[in-house]
Amino acid sequence: MTDSVRHAENMARSEIAAVGKSLFNRGLTFGSTGNISVRLEDGGWLMTPTNVSMGELDPARLSRFDAKGNHVSGDAPTKEAVLHMAMYGQRQDAGAVVHLHSSHSVAVSMIEGIDPDDVLPPLTAYFVMRVGRMPLVPYWPPGDSQLARAVEKLAGKHHAVLLANHGPVVAGTTLANAQFATEELEETAKLFLMLRGMAIRPLTEQQVDDLRLRFDLK
Residues noted as catalytic: 80, 126
Q: What number of other Cβ atoms are within 10 A of residue 110's Cβ?
A: 11
Taking a C-beta distance cutoff of 8 angstroms, is the pair 80, 62 a contact? no
Contacts of 87 by beta carbon, 8 Å cutoff, 6+ apart:
94, 97, 151, 155, 159, 169, 171
DSSP class of 218: -
Nearest to 92 by CA among 155, 142, 148, 34: 155
